[in-house]
Amino acid sequence: MSSDRLFREPIDLHTHSRVSDGTESPAQLVRAAREAGLGTVALTDHDSTAGWSEASAAARENGVTLIPGMELSTRVGWSSVHLLAYLFDPSDARLVAETARIREARLLRAEEMVQRIGRDYDLAWDDVVAQTNPGATVGRPHIADALVARGHAPNRSAAFAGILHWRAGYYQPHYAPDPLTGIELVVAAGGVPVIAHPATVSRADLALEDSMEQYVEAGLFGLEIDHRENTPEGREHLRDLASRFGLALTGSSDYHGEGKPNRLGENTTAPEVLEALIARSSGSAPVY
């Protein structure tokens, strides 16, 4: 069986490039994946597929398998729920429209947050633009980089723990569909959805299991269990949910280049899980 597989291990199914809030170009990221010894990497920029073609070319050049993906923003009340989506059709009209709407909402929300921060700190929208690749999905990490450049924080993590934390009073949510709608959109586009880091401290109160049956019926494939931000108790709970609902379990780094401490390959996914994921997909193919 395993000799039939076209992809190699280790497998890391969650990374970001400068197309969203990572610090490397898609090609640099793929090269970094090879240097880190990965056999397979998924590019999962927030709400965008703009890095797929560059990453695909780099994957072919570097002998790394690429799983094209995305981390779709969804939301339950004030809590954001991230949905990893793999191997969907990037030209699917509904998904294209929804991600455009989310990116637009993220941009307006970032401008509003910066306006509020600017009342208390020397910070202007141009500072954020200077930290953002043209066309990138804008997020708090870009505001963090601007705060660092202005000397208001030593690094991204400190900015997140301080000025960008909801407790500081500048935080604002942005439009995103609810998770069920997100799952339906991804599945309709031939993709395979996995809930990203479902057991972080901030998601502890989400009571995912109340909605799990609906999510599974809509085509949810798995839960990202091995992620540095999932709590130990949370992982136990995820294991239980997965066995009750027949869900796959994945592991990944959520690498953001220099933007986060997460290192490529620090968590990985079993080859059997990736095999099942690929078998479930019909929207696009891995790049071998």
Query: For binding to Fe ion (CB under 5 A), which residues are involved?
Result: 21, 82, 196
- Contacts with Zn ion by CB under 5 A: the residue count is 2
265 CA to centre of own chain: 15
Q: Is 254 in the site for Zn ion (CB under 5 A)?
A: yes
| Contact with ligand AMP (CB under 6 A) among 10, 259, 265, 286 | 259
* Minimal distance, residue 42 CB to Zn ion, in Å: 11
Binding to ligand AMP in span 140-179, by CB under 6 A = 140-141, 156-157, 160
203 binds, among ligand AMP, Zn ion, Fe ion, none (CB under 5 to 8 A by kind): none
What are the beta bridge partners of residue 82?
73
Residue with tokens 């597989």: 5
Mark residue 69 as left, alpha or beta (left: phi above 0; alpha: psi -120 to 50; beta: remaining). beta
Q: By CB under 6 A, which span of 97-105, 139-147, 210-218, 270-278 interacts with ligand AMP?
A: 139-147
Backbone angles phi, psi at 74, to 5 degrees: -135, 175
* Minimal distance, residue 75 CB to Fe ion, in Å: 12
Q: Is 127 in the site for ligand AMP (CB under 6 A)?
A: no
- Contact by Cβ (8 Å): 40, 34: no
For residue 239, what is the enclosing H or E element? helix 232-245
Q: Is 260 in the site for ligand AMP (CB under 6 A)?
A: yes
- Contact by Cβ (8 Å): 252, 13: yes
Q: Which is nearer to ligand AMP, 157 or 214 (CB)?
A: 157
* Minimal distance, residue 119 CB to Fe ion, in Å: 26
140 binds, among ligand AMP, Zn ion, Fe ion, none (CB under 5 to 8 A by kind): ligand AMP
- Pick from 6, 50, 56, 48: nearest CA to 27: 56
Q: Which is nearer to Fe ion, 227 or 271 (CB)?
A: 227
Distances (CA, A) of 86 to 10, 110, 226, 240, 284: 17, 27, 17, 24, 9
Q: How many C-beta atoms surround the C-beta of residue 109 within 10 A?
A: 18
Q: By CB under 6 A, which span of 55-63, 126-134, 193-201, 253-261 interacts with ligand AMP?
A: 253-261
Q: Which is nearer to Zn ion, 256 or 280 (CB)?
A: 256
Q: CA neighbours within 13 Å on the CB side: how many for 88?
A: 32
SS (H, E, C) 68-92: EEEEEEEEECCEEEEEEEECCCCCC
* Minimal distance, residue 254 CB to Zn ion, in Å: 4
The alpha carbon dihedral of 80, 219, 271, 5 has a sign of negative
- Contacts with ligand AMP by CB under 6 A: the residue count is 10
Q: Which is nearer to ligand AMP, 158 or 278 (CB)?
A: 158
Q: By CB under 6 A, which span of 89-97, 117-125, 214-222, 252-260 interacts with ligand AMP?
A: 252-260
Q: Which residues bind ligand AMP (CB under 6 A)?
A: 21, 139-141, 156-157, 160, 256, 259-260
